[in-house]
Structure 1
Amino acid sequence: MLKRSLRLAMKRNLDSFLKEHYSLTSNSVTAPITPSSKAPGPPAKVPKSNMVTTTIQLTTKEQQLRHLLLDVAKAIDESGKAPEPIALRWAGGWVRDKLLNIQSHDIDVAINAMTGVPFAQAMCDYCERPEAMSKHNIGPADIGSLHNVARNPEKSKHLETAMVKMFGLDLDFVNLRKETYTEDSRNPQMEFGTAEEDARRRDATVNALFYNLHDDSVEDFTGGLADMEAKIIRTPLEPFQTFMDDPLRVLRLVRFASRLQFTIDANTRKFMADPKVLEALRAKISRERVGVELEKMLKAHPFEALELIHDLQLFHAIFTDPTQENLPVPDISRWPVAYTCLDDLLKDRDSTSIAGRLISSTDASYSAWNLAALSPWMTVEEPPNPRRKANALPLVAIVSREGFKAPNRLSSIVAASHRNREEVLKLKNAVCNGESYIHERDRFGMAIRKWDTPAGTWRLQVLNALLVEALETLTEWRHEKSAGWKSFLDHLAKLDVYEVTTLEKLLDGGKLAKALGGIKPGKWTGPALEVCVAWQLRNPDETDPTGAIEEVQRRREELGIPLRRLFDDDERAVSFSTVRLAVFQHWLLGPSNTALLHEISGKYLAQLPKLSVDQALSSEDKNLDQGQLERLTAAISEKALRLKSVEEHSELLTEAAVASLSILCSKHHFVLDQDTLVKLTAVTDPQDPWTTAEAATTASKLLSEQLEGKSLIEFIINTVLQKSLKPLFMKSSSRITASGRPSQYTIIDDRSRPVIEVLPWRTQAPWAEATIQWAVNMSTTPLIQQHWPLFLPVLLALVENESTKTKARGLRTAREFMTKCSAQVLQNTGIGRVFADVTFPLLLHLPSVTPEDESTTILVPAYDVLIKLAESTGNTNSIERRRLFDRILRDGVFAGYFHASQHTRIVQVLLQKATVVINGLGIYTIKHLTPLLSMASSVMTDPFAVSYPPTLIAATQTLNAIITNAWPRIREVEHMENVIQILSLCWLNVSEEIEHEIPQTSEEIHTLSRELVHTARILQVLWAQDASVCPAKLSEALKQEPRLSDLFPETLA
């Protein structure tokens, strides 16, 4: 997409790029390179005595490319930009494959007197000439963009290469070179070399062949042709030094030997397992490069590759975690059993065979070979770690992730295979032993549904259990040992559960909640739906979900399904008898919930003297005297509203208690005591586990009716803050004094005090979080300005708490507090500094140290607090305001993106908050323009980002804010072209997604497209003001890619 236009745009800027980093002469590459100093003339001939030659047959496209490259070389020679005549060769794998009659589209072009980048650029320039296009029949789609891959000697990536796609062939341009190593450095000094010198430093003789474009012949300096004839893999130079120079060559030789079915030379083989070589492979080579080689092996000839790895004793250098010391060492003595087993199974791909049932695709086959490769790790016992989390990856998955950088999906498959292996084996043995329950379709179907995470992988997990069982129980593989697994898989087919993971459910969460009386979906929904699925599996012919609903009703107590709400909000005047009927005669009531409600309506109230339950709940006419009312409300408050423990308190009990108080106050105009009112503040947030939405709404109304005007202020200050909360938070934070004011000498993170002393409210008053939240919400600005020291200790205690939920709640409450606290108080008292100090570190609560869900829970309110602080510091020209916004971007958004850019939801939060900060900075955003555009570009140009549209929407909105606020710099050609490229690539990715629209994401995708159009219109405003800022090549890009016309109407160009 946009190949032609993007290449032209790249060409405009490349000259200045080359001046800084490269030269069209041969004297300035990244590593020291010294060319030979021959006089200009025809390409030098290599002495025939040093090499063997043969001929080769080129295809039409290859011949077309050869003629083009020779003309490019001639043009460079004529320009005098090279110190000697250009000689071109095609090198390495293409020559080898060509001689073996294997089709290859990847060609390495070796150049004698130039580095790759300037030659590739010269080729691109040459192809722009009309006469060249005509002579070589070059069409718009024949040449791709030029890409540069930098050197990285620390990871044995010694060459800087240029890559271009030409005539459908992938070309890599490099110079002929030789490498000089010093004793005190593992990184070579790079110099221009001859073809023979270049050949001798390659990994294998069969890869050291050249095709000379000028002579139209193959050149062999190292005996590669003879080795190909003998089917031998060996190194051109002494093996040990060859491997020490680049240890990855060990794996490359394994790959070539397995792929070509060649034998590794005995002398070469001897050094491949040398301890020094293996240590260099472990320490010097990036694990990504190890993963690339392993992937190529396992996708080509995996059995032969794993056999070579085993024979050469390479297992522990490949399948390891180099980041950890003292790892346990798996027993690999019987590893061949596992991969031989898999190889044997794959020979029979009949639909009813084991492989036919379990390995259904090329990707599945690749995953299966990875499981076979890792099988020795499956039984390794995890090292003891008391801090290990329950959901932590098993060791075998860590080895796959760190040892060869397996993709996330493959690591997840490995982890699931380890996690479910014993359960798979248990069911297989049950079938083989004829256990009584093996005909229970729901048991097997629900097990498969549980295993199938990631989706579509349960078959691989069964295969893994087979491979590991073979490894554990056999000394060598015998096909008859698979009979038990064949019986197990046949039994699954008989039960018809292979497609159970795609079963169409009769009920979803909403329908089930409605069928149960309109209760609110919650934690119970997932388990209840699984009960419905199990019922479907037992009744495969049923289409009416009534039976499933009845099954859920029978098990509602076990599933923790709450009771339907007791009364509607407008039924405040409902009688006690109605409440009683709702409690005791509700059609969903089970014995457990009846007992819970009976505690308030029976057991507790029955203890009151001279007042029976029946009298209290059934008499609408009876007027209770003051004493009876006080005793009744006191019992409700003490027995049903006293929050001793979050785990032990029932939200159902709270709802019934609040309902009773509401009716009492409504019927008798009763004034509740202060203690009961405080307890009501604790149930005003429906998110708390001890209350419900109905109870929270009713409690809030009760408090509003009972506390009005001055009585509300006195209640908040005296009863809530001073009497109830202050005793609990006297020693909450070292950042403040005993009076609640910021301390001048702060001891950060003082962990010397016992937790019971620092956090008494966690055990004594779990209601404190809800109460302070209610107090802040109900407070006025004058109240907070006058009494802020009473709030500060509680808010800091919540924000500094280790619980993610408590911390997030404290941040949300703190932001509300700052909204009602004047800027003068925040700055003059030091409150703003205290909140900034405690909040900024929270911006680094990022994966993988903090789980992604917890991280987003903290990040959103943390950014809100800091943004509110910045906004409170004054107008847009305030230096303090700008400093705080700058710090939020620098220490928060940019640092967060650097550490967690692979976590989509984290990036979404960072972009959303960056948009707010940019709008807050206004024109001062310009100083951050480069990193902001870089962040937006990396997100919006990622073709896989379309799978989660909310992040792209956030990125587009950030780009909108950047353009709007930093428009003077955006008008500059460099930035304008960058923005247009970002929008164009994102638009094309979105267009492709719309063409293959997925129903559940279509609305978000269309929202994203509207955001992109809006951004383009912002650019239109800039063009309308000054047409010169509209890139001249935009109209050409629109012609090349018509899909961009909706984004940039051609009238703009």
Structure 2
Amino acid sequence: MAQDISSVPFGATIVEPPSGEAIPTTIKLTDVEKKLRILLLDVAEFIDGMTPVSDSVKAPEDSLDETPVPDPSNEDEKVKPELAGQRIVLRFTGGWVRDKLLGVGSHDIDVAINKMTGLEFGLKLKEYLELPGHAQQYGLVPAGKEDGKSSGKDKSRKVAPGLYKIEANPEKSKHLETITTNILGLDIDFVNLRKETYTEDSRNPQMEFGTPEEDALRRDATINAMFYNLNTSKIEDFTRRGFEDMGRKIIRTPLDPYQTFKDDPLRVLRLIRFASRLNYTIDDLSQNAMANEEILKALKVKISRERVGIEIDKMLKGPDPCTALRLIDSLGLYNTIFTDPTRELEYNPNLEKFSEVYTAVRDISQNIPDIPLIISKTLLRNPDEQYLAWICASLIPWADAPMVPNSKPNQRPHYAATLVAREGLKAPNRISDVVTGSLRDAEEIGKLVDQCHRQIKWPTTNRVGLDATARDTLGMAIRRWGPTWRSQVWFTLLHELFQETLGSESHQRIYEKYAIFLEQLTKHDVLDAYAFKPLLTGKDLARALNTDPGSWMKDALDVVMEWQLANPGITDPSAAIEAVKVHKAETLHKAATAEQAGGAEKGAKPEETKKNRELPSRLATHFLQLTIRPLFSQNKPHPTLTPAGHASALPKDGKARFPEDTSDAPWKDPKQGHAIELLRWVLSVLGTKGVETNWGLLIPPILKLMDDISLKWKAVGCEMLTLLLKSTPPALLKRTGLGNVFEESLWPLFTYLPNLTEEKESAALLDEVFPALRALADAMYPPSKPTDQTSSSTPREKFLDKILREGILAPTFHAPPSTYPHLATILLKHLPSLQQAMGIDSVKHLQSLIPLLANILSEPLAPAYPPLMVVAAKGAQGCVLNAWPRISVHRGDILKGLTVSWIRVEEEKAKEVDGERQGELEGIMKELKTCVGMLDAVLNGVEDVKWEDEKRELIGADERLRGLFEENGE
């Protein structure tokens, strides 16, 4: 039996008893609690009209005169006549008394008043402290600060900062109306002693002033029904069982448990919370009542979900959440508590293995030897993560529930577990977000953990797909999952335990693979990868790629971060910028050549070269897949192309194919202008391996551009094709069969000539067609070694011949240079490089080329357009350089063009011309003299040609030609 506590002395020392010893029978107040007690008693005497005890620090036993308190006639709750003449008696109630007896400090105190409402007493408290000198007397305001101008930095010295009235809500079983304030750093609730009277026709009680015993009997548990009388400094146990139950570590209700829970169903959860917090046992009668169907229904319907959530929150933040979930599980309360009351959820959670989940959480939290320590060390680092761990555990039974349709149209469906957290527990958004993220990423997390475990456990096994052990793979996963990744990984771990059916051995295997995964994260130092800053900003990247900023940057920066994670030693932003800058075509060609030869760039270490190319390669693949392909995929597929980028094997239907209308194509949208620049950049940085890997992504946009009805986009397509072919291995082009497809797209472009096509547009297009055809020739028919050449024409020779005939001779015939000098200039600009590629085989074209060039040079109005004369002179040089064995036969026509052109330029120079014009004319003369110099080198060695005599004869005929011949002849 409990000891007699009727004579407990004020200020007796409290000591927490060892296990098995009796609960102490005394309470020792702290200094702050002593000061609060005196303040409250002084307020009581102030109300009763007596001199405050603090004047002489009187003991509470001193006699006090009694005067009646004003009748609170304006209150709903009436003071009983027998209370009207009593002095005010104050008591600390409930949890504070229990905790003090257990040696646990508390900052929350409920103060019960015998004859006043909490609101009345609170207002009197405020009135009392506002009297001069009173607040300072209790240390609530520093000396000299009574005017209310104190800094307020010390919460414990504030003067009752505010009185907050919490309304009663009988419909939700919140019967007590309380007044809340903060004094001396303590949260104080004032409420009168209550008696609850229930009627048969109402589930809501009639509240009235009650006696201490009546107030104690209406409470949730005997251990919470003891009072500390401030007037007598004695502990009062009006249930006669509170102190005894504490000694026996039992939780029971003061009255019949069924009626207690029916009156306020939330008491079911409160008792579970106290049992888990105090390590007490709920008595059998109470447990039976808790599982009663009527109580469960009342708990689900009658109690606000906010109050339910608060109790669950306190349980899971308490010292033993496992016991709380075990009681909820064993008493059949799960479906009542963890549900969404706003809708009917058809899914019925399977609780068969729920106990294994919360037991596992307890075992991991307690670091039992069989479970790798790194799991708790990494995933349960602090109280908040431990709390989230229990939240996840409590919702695991809902993890396999089907998605719940969203009532709003075109909105994503809900995860059932998220609804349970948000609507059933009224959890804050951050909790709901963790649950949603855990379910959203669960499949990816589980797959990555499995792959990482498998690749580390069996490293010699052939890997398929990504390297799940690599720093960039793991780091980017952490970034995708975000700051709450630990809770998400934890959720997935628990879900696997919940689904496992093979017992403890399987549990150990799950622990092992998650431990290996976490060890790998720790090894690579990517636990905080979600907070890593990219070396480049979006603007930095846009400048390096020579394109406009846009929405594409966000995902592109992820690629930069992935590269950054793979190369942790690179910390200088300039290194990343240099890695993605577009280089000159010559540099790219050299790099590609070196790559094909298996070597590295000159002057660069192999590992540096690899790193420098790795970032552009990653970005290129990203842009092709996520930026470029979506913009071009909306158009119809190319009829001669398979999805893999091969020539289609389907027979042609023979019908003419007209260009589709692409006026509304996404890639033509000015807002998507970056797409073309990015495609240009991609083609400029991909080497042969990159082209082969991304072949199926590269071909469709290029052919779309070339087939567009607009000549502008056709030209862009040809430019892109040239960049592609420069890095295309001949074997790849042959294997895919696309060489002929490219030919069929390129040759018809030479028909876009004046006057059906404007000269400017025609020139711009054909200026890109020539390089594309040259690159196609090199890719389809690589140059042969001299020893491999035969007397018959090779496919390469035939292809180059066709370029010259259809690309230069035919267009200049249909569009005469004299009429369309700009177009002729563009065409002839490409002649020297074509002649060089043909070599000696260009001899066969001398009969057509030399008259064309000679006529251009000797045209009377030719000096009016100097660029055309320059390219014509360079074309003549190409004839001499590559077809020199037969030049002597055609020297007459060549000399005609050179001499006539020289004289016309001299005549033009004799006129008054400006400096720019003078420079253009001198440029023409320079190229003419160069051509004569080449003739000197060829013809001076020909026996039947008297070259020097011929020159002298021409000089004799016109002295102005001396400047053309003599300097080269002497």
Q: TM-score, length-normalised on structure 1? A: 0.49
Change (3 A) 1:329 1:164: same
Q: Distance in 2 between matches of 1:610 and 1:268?
A: 91
CA offset at residue 604 of structure 1?
9.1
Pick from 361, 364, 375 the counterpart of residue 345 of structure 1: 364
Tell me whether 1:156 sits opposite 2:173 in the alignment. Answer: yes
Partners in 2 of 1:461 and 1:489 — Cα distance? 13
**How far apart, CA to CA, are the structure 2 residues paired with 1:609 and 1:290?**
77
1:187-202 to 2 correspondence within 5 Å?
187-202=204-219
Residue 346 of structure 2 corresponds to: 327
**Residue 536 of structure 1 pairs with residue 564 of structure 2:** yes
> What amino acid sits opposite 1:218 in the alignment?
I
Distance 2:630 2:293 in 1: 68
Q: Does 1:238 align with 2:305?
A: no
Q: What is the one-letter code of the residue matched to 2:325?
A: L
**Equivalent of residue 362 in structure 1, options 377, 383, 395:** 383
Unaligned runs of 5+ in 1: 1-44, 565-578, 624-1053
CA drift at 1:215: 1.2
2:759 aligned with 1:619, yes or no? yes
Distance 1:279 1:386 in 2: 26
1:63-108 deviations in Å (ceiling 9; x for gaps): 2111221121112122742533211111111111111111011111
Flag the structure with larger Rg: 2
Q: Take 1:99 and 1:584, find their aligned partners in 2: how far apart are those partners?
A: 73
Partner residue, 2:668? none
Deviations for 1:634-653, whole angstroms, at most 9, x for unmatched residues? xxxxxxxxxxxxxxxxxxxx
The answer to whether the Cα contact below 8 Å between 2:347 and 2:401 also exists between their aligned partners in 1 is yes
Which of 192, 196, 209 lines up with 2:226 in the alignment?
A: 209
- 1:8-157 maps to which residues of 2 (within 5 A)? 55-78=26-49, 80-82=69-71, 83-84=84-85, 85-133=87-135, 135-139=137-141, 141-143=157-159, 144-157=161-174
Distance in 2 between residues matched to 1:263 and 1:477, nearest whole Å:
29
Secondary structure at the residue paired with 1:382?
coil
Pair 1:186 & 2:203 matched: yes
Output the CA distance in 1 between the equivalents of 2:396 and 2:288.
26
In the alignment, is the contact (CA less than 8 A) between 1:151 and 1:157 conserved in 2?
yes
CA distance in 2 between partners of 1:492 and 1:610 (Å): 56
d(CA) in 2 for partners of 1:555, 1:469 = 33
1:504 to 533, 540, 548: 533
Match of 2:709 in 1: 600
Hey, what does 1:284 align to over in structure 2? Answer: 302
State the secondary structure of the residue aligned to 2:187: strand
Select 1:461's aligned residue among 488, 493, 498.
488
One-letter identity of the residue aligned with 1:117: L
Q: Distance in 1 between matches of 2:470 and 2:224?
A: 59
**1:313 and 2:313 matched:** no
Matches of 1:610 and 1:265, distance apart in 2 = 93
Distance, in Å, in 2 between the alignment partners of 1:243 and 1:621 is: 88
Cα distance in structure 2, aligned partners of 1:352 and 1:267: 41
Which of 462, 466, 477 is residue 447 of structure 1 equivalent to?
Answer: 477
CA distance in 2, matches of 1:584, 1:299: 52
Mapped partners of 2:243, 2:492: distance in 1: 45
Q: CA deviation at 1:611?
A: 9.6
1:942 alignment counterpart: none
Q: Tell me whether 593-602 or 71-80 shows the greater mean CA deviation.
A: 593-602
Shift of 1:324: 1.3
Aligned equivalents of 2:624, 2:681: Cα separation in 1? 14
Q: CA deviation at 1:317?
A: 1.0
- The answer for unaligned runs of 5 or more in structure 2 is 9-22, 50-66, 72-83, 143-156, 456-460, 580-611, 632-672, 684-697, 716-744, 764-970
Contact kept in structure 1, 2:753 and 2:762, CA below 8 Å = no
**Residue 281 of structure 1 aligns to which amino acid in structure 2?**
L
CA contact (8 A) 1:203 1:235 kept: yes
| In structure 2, distance between residues paired with 1:394 and 1:336 | 23
Which one of the candidate residues 155, 158, 177 is aligned to 2:194? Answer: 177
* Equivalent of 2:289 in 271, 276, 281: 271
Deviation per CA, 1:93-149, whole angstroms, max 9, x where unpaired?
111111111101111110111100110110111112235345544426242211111
**Counterpart amino acid of residue 122 in structure 1:** K
Q: For 1:494 and 1:164, locate their aligned partners in 2 and report how far apart those are by CA, in whole Å.
A: 51
Cα contact 1:54–1:219 (8 A) shared by 2: no
C-alpha contact 2:623 2:678 (8 A) present in aligned 1:
no
Query: Whole-Å Cα distance in 1 between the matches of residues 138 and 541 of structure 2?
Result: 69
* Paired letter, 1:89: R
Is 2:634 the partner of 1:557? no
Q: Give the direction of change, closer, same or farther, for the CA distance of 1:178–1:558 in structure 2 (3 Å limit).
A: same
Q: CA deviation at 1:588?
A: 6.1
Which of 434, 447, 450 is residue 413 of structure 1 equivalent to?
A: 434
What amino acid maps onto 2:619 in structure 1?
Answer: V
Shift of 1:426: 1.3
Counterpart of 1:490 in structure 2 is 519
In the aligned structure 2, how far is the partner of 1:461 from the partner of 1:370?
11
Query: SS of 2:341's equivalent?
Result: coil
> What is the aligned partner in structure 1 of residue 236 from structure 2?
219
Alpha-carbon distance in 2 for matches of 1:516, 1:457: 34
Matched, 1:250 2:268: yes
Q: Which stretch has the larger CA shift, 524-533 or 92-101?
A: 524-533
Q: Which residue is 1:945 aligned to?
A: none
Contact 1:54 1:217 survives alignment (8 Å)? no
Structure 1 residues 393 and 583 mapped into 2: Cα distance closer, same or farther (>3 Å)?
closer
Between 381-390 and 153-162, report the one with greater CA deviation: 381-390
* Amino acid across the alignment from 2:141: G
How far apart, in 2, do the equivalents of 1:317 and 1:475 lie? 30
State the SS of the aligned residue for 1:165: strand
Residue type at the aligned position of 1:252: R
RMSD: 3.6
- Cα contact 2:218–2:254 (8 A) shared by 1: yes
The answer as to 2:532 corresponding to 1:471 is no
1:509 positional shift: 1.7
Distance in 1, Cα, partners of 2:287 & 2:270: 13
Q: How does 1:423-442 map to 2 (within 5 A)?
A: 423-434=444-455, 436=463, 437-442=467-472
| 1:951-980 deviation line (CA, Å, top 9, x unaligned) | xxxxxxxxxxxxxxxxxxxxxxxxxxxxxx
Equivalent-residue separation in structure 2 for 1:521 and 1:265 (angstroms)? 67
Q: Which residue identity does 1:467 align to in structure 2?
A: L
Which residue identity lines up with residue 289 of structure 2 in the other structure? F
TM superposition score normalised by structure 2:
0.53
Question: For residues 303 and 547 of structure 2, what CA distance do their matches in structure 1 show?
Answer: 60
- Cα distance change, pair 386–246 in 1 and its aligned pair in 2 (3 A): closer
Query: CA–CA distance in 1 between the matches of 2:7 and 2:165?
Result: 33
- Structure 1 CA distance for aligned equivalents of residues 550 and 677 of structure 2: 21
Q: What is the SS of the residue equivalent to 1:188?
A: strand
How many Å separate the matches in 2 of 1:394 and 1:586? 43
Letter in 2 for 1:176: L
Instruction: Name 1:260's counterpart in structure 2.
Output: 278
Deviation at 1:600, TM superposition (A): 2.7
Amino acid at match of 1:517: N
Matches within 5 A, 1:613-652: 613-615=752-754, 619-620=759-760
Q: Distance in 1 between matches of 2:233 and 2:546?
A: 83
Shift of 1:583: 10
Aligned to 1:374: 395
